[in-house]
Structure 1
C-alpha cells in the first residue's frame, strides 16, 4: 500500500485503520479515533468551502467532539458527531452536528468514490441553529433522513479522468 500523502488519503487510511481495529493506536500515540477527529476537523474546513453560505462567511471547523463511526457497507463508513465552528464575523460561532458518509471504490482504497457531507440543522424558520446535541435523525435508529433537515448537505466526487 502506498504512503498516504493528501488529507483525503490520510483520512481514508485512518478510516480503514478504525474499521480493522478500533482500539488501535498509532505508535503508542493517540488513538485512531483521536487522529480521525483531527483529520475530520480539517476535512470539514475544506467541505465548508464548497457550500456558498459557509464560504462567504469564512466558516471553519475548530474541533470535532462526540465522534461516532459506523461501517455502513463493506466499502462505506459514516462518521458523525459535533463540531465547533466559527466564521469571520465575531458573532458567528457555535456547535453543530455533522454526518459524513465516505464511499470507497473498493475495500481499503485510499481514494473516495464519493463523499456526502451534512452539517448543522435548521430551525422552523430555516435559520441555522447553534446546538451541541447530535442531530435528531442520528438518535433515532432506522429513521429515513431528508437532506432538507440539514443546513448543509453536499456530495463531493473526485474529478473524472479526461
Structure 2
C-alpha cells in the first residue's frame, strides 16, 4: 500500500471491535502485518487467541480491566499513556501495514491523554500505515482527520432481555 487511510468505527451499536478484527484477519490473510492495540481493555477477551492462528497479528492491551462504569484511576491513565507511547513507536517504525487503536475514542472521551497528542501521533505515522480507530463517542477532531467513518447504530440488542455477554460473541 502506498497510502494508508484512517478508518473510524464508532456509535452505540455492537460491532466496532468486531469489524476491526475482521479487517485485521483479512489483512493478515493477504500477507499484511497488523498491530491491534486495545486501550481500556485488560480482561481476557477471546480475540487475544488470534495470535495463535494468525502469525502476522500482534495484540496488546493497554488497560487494567474495564472502568467504563466508574472514573479512571491514576493507574488506568498511566496504562493508557504507556499504550499511546507504544503506538507512537509502531506508527513511526513502519513495520506494520495496519494499526488498530481499539477503544481510542473511549480513552479520549475520558481524557486519558490530550487530543492534540493523539492527532499528531496519527498524522506523523509512516505514510503507508492504515489506521483503524474504534470506540463510542468519536470526537469531531477524530472524525475530521478520518478518511472513512462508520457509525454502528443499535436498533435492537438481546442484552435488553438480560442476556449475559457470551464468550466468543461479546468477549
Structure with the larger helix share = 2
Q: What's the TM-score bracket when you normalise by the shorter of the two chains?
A: under 0.3
Structure with the larger strand share = 1
**TM-score w.r.t. structure 2 length?**
0.26
